[in-house]
């Protein structure tokens, strides 16, 4: 357990952070717990009413030793794990098995759900704004809630897969001091570079693609505003772990190939020989670009590019590779 006198990013400071991110203030109360359910000896699931999302959402907590006997003022180092594009917060326990990691026995792990293809972004919504405001949901609802009521402390680190990696990096780059270390696995870290890929991916799953960031030609400033590469300067003093496949077949890929996504034909045609996952090849290229940018800035970045696609289970392995960096930052 950690009982620290370091400066805490309070709920008031988080409201300022939300303003920095261009988030409109949510109406009504911030995240209110509607139900609390014990799933196992360590796993607790919260159902919250989210004004920022315009409905209910779910947050899973993997609790540390002594958490059930916590007293007012008890705080634990906290690792935030961000869901990928499907928004499924249960991936971290069902597929990546974080509950088995001995390094996290004294860490509170917070795993928020996200709307489908929410991109951890406050949506542009054709200039109207409003729900879903996914970053506002995290900054003004989830984080204050777990810090005020569930023992989350001011020592924070974050990791995410795919869109979750985008979210973790974007938050760390834009809100100084929010996270002491951050990791991203197979993530779109420079989406404005391949805007057609991400627009096509949204349409493929039935999401209004222009509602998220807008048209990349007309709303290019909005795209840049959310782009982690564009805000790499904000990561200069934050340890970063970047991992991505290169799109070629890898040892953890399943038997089913990545689905063909209409609208990505350009990138399929330009892909290197042997690429079977264009989505991951694009993530790999963006990861290399961000890594080079951070290296040029003198930032503490570790990068792992490997053979593999986007639908494999590489997050399981890469989280374990990143864990020493993440836990070192939490316990410093």
329: pLDDT strictly greater than 90 = yes
The mean per-residue pLDDT over the stretch 107-136 comes to: 97
The mean per-residue pLDDT over the stretch 37-48 comes to: 96
Tell me what pLDDT residue 258 has.
Answer: 80
What residue numbers bound the domain in which 28 lies?
11-330
Residue 171, in any domain of the structure: yes
Sheet bearing 182-185, strands edge to edge: 32-38, 43-50, 55-62, 108-112, 76-82, 152-161, 182-185, 240-245, 301-306
Q: State the distance between the two ends of the chain, measured CA to CA, in whole angstroms.
A: 13
Tell me what pLDDT residue 268 has.
Answer: 84
Residue 6, in any domain of the structure: no
The mean per-residue pLDDT over the stretch 218-241 comes to: 96
Q: What is the CATH number of the domain that holds 139?
A: 3.40.50.1820
Residue 157, in any domain of the structure: yes
Residue 1, in any domain of the structure: no
Residue 3, in any domain of the structure: no
Tell me what pLDDT residue 26 has.
Answer: 32
Residue-wise pLDDT tens digits, 148-182: 999 999 999 999 999 999 999 999 999 999 999 99
CB atoms within 10 A of CB 221: 8
Residue 186, in any domain of the structure: yes
Residue 40, in any domain of the structure: yes
**Total domains present in the chain:** 1
Residue 215, in any domain of the structure: yes
């Amino acid at each position: 357990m950690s009982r620290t006198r370091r400066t805490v990013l309070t709920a008031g400071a988080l409201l300022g952070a939300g303003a920095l991110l261009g988030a409109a203030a949510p109406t009504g109360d911030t995240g209110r717990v509607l139900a609390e359910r014990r799933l196992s000896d360590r796993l607790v699931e919260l159902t919250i009413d989210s004004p920022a999302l315009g409905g209910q959402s779910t947050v899973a907590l993997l609790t540390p030793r002594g958490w059930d006997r916590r007293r007012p003022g008890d705080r634990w180092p906290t690792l935030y794990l961000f869901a990928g594009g499907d928004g499924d917060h249960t991936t971290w326990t069902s597929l990546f098995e974080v509950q088995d990691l001995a390094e996290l026995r004294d860490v509170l792990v917070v795993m928020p759900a996200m709307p489908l293809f929410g991109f951890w972004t406050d949506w542009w919504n054709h200039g109207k704004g409003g729900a879903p405001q996914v970053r506002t949901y995290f900054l003004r609802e989830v984080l204050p809630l777990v810090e005020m009521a569930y023992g989350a402390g001011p020592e924070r680190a974050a990791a995410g897969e795919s869109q979750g990696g985008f979210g973790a990096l974007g938050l760390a780059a834009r809100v100084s001091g929010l996270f002491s270390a951050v990791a991203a696995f197979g993530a779109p870290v420079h989406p404005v570079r391949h805007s057609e890929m991400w627009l096509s991916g949204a349409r493929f799953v039935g999401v209004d693609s222009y509602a998220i960031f807008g048209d990349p030609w007309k709303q290019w400033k909005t795209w840049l505003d959310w782009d982690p590469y564009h805000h790499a300067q904000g990561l200069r003093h934050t340890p970063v772990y970047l991992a991505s496949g290169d799109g070629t077949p890898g040892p953890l890929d399943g038997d089913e190939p990545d689905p063909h996504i209409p609208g990505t034909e350009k990138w399929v045609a330009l892909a290197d020989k042997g690429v079977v996952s264009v989505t991951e090849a694009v993530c790999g290229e963006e990861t290399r670009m961000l890594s080079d940018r951070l290296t040029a800035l003198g930032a503490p970045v570790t990068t792992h590019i490997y053979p593999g696609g986007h639908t494999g289970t590489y997050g399981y392995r890469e989280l374990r590779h990143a864990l020493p960096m993440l836990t070192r930052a939490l316990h410093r």
